[in-house]
Structure 1
Amino acid sequence: MTLDLNFYLFAVPAVIFAGMSKGGFGSAAAFAATPFLALILTPGQAVGLMLPLLMVMDVTAVRLFWRKWDLRVAGVLILGAIPGIVIGTLLYGVADPALFKLLIGLVAIGFVLWQVAKARSWIRPPKRELGTGAGLFWGAVTGLTSFISHAGGPPAAVYMLSKRMDKTTYQASSVLTFWAVNAMKVVPYAFVGIFSKETLIADLTLIPAAVLGVLFGVWMHHKVPEKLFFGLAYVFLVITGSKLIWEVLV
């Protein structure tokens, strides 16, 4: 990875966009930065670069939603995420890098399909609250997809939506869950060599972009319709996800 003009032309907008999503739009589209960066970096470099920056954003979000979460709901997802992260670690250690590039592309497309299906009521919250066993299962899926592409939102939402929480409790529980999940990924990422001297140096130079993105997102929250923001994010994800899949399969 070379920290040249081409790198920053991709990295700065990607990090700012992730910050905007975290700061003003519930963080649902923050993971879009990963498939975008995977266009110019290896999959490992892309997720390794983004993790410390997402953790910086998580600290801000946790402070804003301090103790407003449902600790039991978040705890079940966090506990369930552990085996998912372990599976991701084992898979990364033996899989060809092209497989992770393909998975990042598929997760990006899958995320858009999930959001469209939810918006059109093709997918609805379970009529009954899901039990602890189901929560642990969706937590494992959350851990795996988060390990691959920082995209654990949809599987976590399946469990949380069944709990019929109010908006603030839901958002706070999500924030706490992904603060913990991201923190748990640090050691496995280091173990399999995802972090490097270059990614850590790049993170230090991109922290201002992360903070700027969060602040810009807070401002945009009151200026830009949520529907427009996510509409643009979904188009962006379809394009980048399709390109990643095309590069692997062709």
Structure 2
Amino acid sequence: MSIDPSIYYAAIPAVLLVGLTKGGMGEALALMGVPLLAMAVPPVQAAAILLPILVVMDCVSLWIWRDYNDRTLLKMLLPGALIGIAIGWATSAYVPRDALRLIIGLITVLFAARYFYNSWRARHGHIAQAKPHRLVPAAFFGTLSGYGSFVAHAGGAPFQVYSLPLKLPPRDYTGAAVRFFAILNFIKLGPYFALGQLDTTNLTISATLVPLAIVATACGGFMVKRMKPEVFYPFMYAMAFIAGLKLVYDGVVAFV
């Protein structure tokens, strides 16, 4: 087994960005992880190297956010997400991943743009109220999140589209998000192992990056815990907007 040391020039910044995200700083940074690592290895291998690291990051995040959660949000989204993972596993060979990125990206950009439009209206006296939980949107966006997470590593944007308008307390929102994606990533280990991607080489690279992953995740959690709601929500919507743009860009470039 021989590992090219140049892989780490791409892997280290990728893990730093994803670690900040897993600490609670939004999906946009995480979307840069696989593309960065894919500069040094094939995209499928990049995703396989990052998956065990994500599971370690999830463990750190679960400890950081152990006192915060929103059980109702998890109950609403997880059933659809599990169905989405199953559909993704069954159809990943047939559905164009770039088309999925483009669709999810467009939905997310419009969703974030609507928030900033409503924020502009709020300064003129028109304040949008928090939305209640709704079964049909929860099932749709939960399934899209699970499906996108499996086939395109793009599960965070649909999660945000459903959950951010609920206007939960920031720490409860982050605690629920951490638990949601920890469950999804753990479940994804089985299919990735079945695909033969969790081999000795990839696991060795993952293991050497774990200490950096733990530090980056802790730093992300430290910063998010100190954000006030009036800072947290604009920041999260901005991250969702950037994530959406990145997905749209990836999808368009693939079809050009």
TM-score class, shorter-chain normalisation, is: 0.7 to 0.9
Q: Counterparts of 1:232 and 1:174 in 2: how far apart (Å)?
A: 15
1:243/1:154 CA distance change after superposition, 3 Å: closer
Note the residue ranges of structure 2 that are not aligned, 5 or more in a row. Answer: 120-126
Q: Counterparts of 2:111 and 2:172 in 1: how far apart (Å)?
A: 21
Q: Counterparts of 1:228 and 1:176 in 2: how far apart (Å)?
A: 21
Query: Quick one: which amino acid aligns to residue 23 of structure 1?
Result: G
Q: CA deviation at 1:189?
A: 1.9
Query: Quick one: which amino acid aligns to residue 199 of structure 2?
Result: S
Give the stretch that moved more between structures: 187-196 or 225-234: 225-234
1:196 aligns with 2:199: yes
Q: Counterparts of 2:248 and 2:39 in 1: how far apart (Å)?
A: 9
Q: CA deviation at 1:184?
A: 1.4
Q: Is the 8 A contact 2:28 2:240 kept in 1?
A: no
Q: How many residues align?
A: 244
Q: Is the 8 A contact 1:127 1:162 kept in 2?
A: yes
Note the residue ranges of structure 1 that are not aligned, 5 or more in a row. Answer: none
1:218/1:184 CA distance change after superposition, 3 Å: closer
1:40/1:88 CA distance change after superposition, 3 Å: farther
What whole-Å deviation, never above 9, does each CA across 1:142-194 have from its counterpart, x for those lacking one? 00111123321221123223433221211111111111111111112222333
What whole-Å deviation, never above 9, does each CA across 1:129-150 have from its counterpart, x for those lacking one? 2422321221100001111233
1:28/1:169 CA distance change after superposition, 3 Å: farther
Q: Counterparts of 1:175 and 1:192 in 2: how far apart (Å)?
A: 26
1:213/1:146 CA distance change after superposition, 3 Å: same
1:230/1:15 CA distance change after superposition, 3 Å: farther
Q: Is the 8 A contact 2:20 2:221 kept in 1?
A: yes
Q: Counterparts of 1:175 and 1:34 in 2: how far apart (Å)?
A: 19
1:84/1:161 CA distance change after superposition, 3 Å: same
Partner residue, 2:44: 44
Q: What SS does structure 2 have at the residue aligned with 1:121? A: helix
1:117 aligns with 2:120: no
Q: CA deviation at 1:15?
A: 0.5
1:232/1:26 CA distance change after superposition, 3 Å: closer
Q: CA deviation at 1:245?
A: 5.6
Q: Is the 8 A contact 1:107 1:149 kept in 2?
A: no
Query: Quick one: which amino acid aligns to residue 77 of structure 1?
Result: L
Q: CA deviation at 1:113?
A: 3.0
* Aligned CA-pair RMSD: 3.9
Q: Is the 8 A contact 1:29 1:233 kept in 2?
A: no
Superposition pairs of residues 22-33 of structure 1, within 5 angstroms: 22-23=22-23, 25-26=25-26, 29-33=29-33
Q: Counterparts of 2:248 and 2:129 in 1: how far apart (Å)?
A: 29
Q: CA deviation at 1:5?
A: 2.9
Q: What SS does structure 2 have at the residue aligned with 1:195? A: coil
What whole-Å deviation, never above 9, does each CA across 1:12-52 have from its counterpart, x for those lacking one? 11001111232362565323202222334333212211111
1:122/1:162 CA distance change after superposition, 3 Å: closer
Residue from 144, 156, 161 that aligns with 1:158: 161
Q: CA deviation at 1:236?
A: 9.7
Superposition pairs of residues 109-188 of structure 1, within 5 angstroms: 110=106, 113=109, 117=113, 120-121=116-117, 128-188=131-191
Q: Counterparts of 1:229 and 1:163 in 2: how far apart (Å)?
A: 13
TM-score by length of 1: 0.77
Q: CA deviation at 1:210?
A: 0.8
1:138/1:193 CA distance change after superposition, 3 Å: same
Percentage of matched positions with identical amino acids: 27
1:15 aligns with 2:15: yes
TM-score by length of 2: 0.75
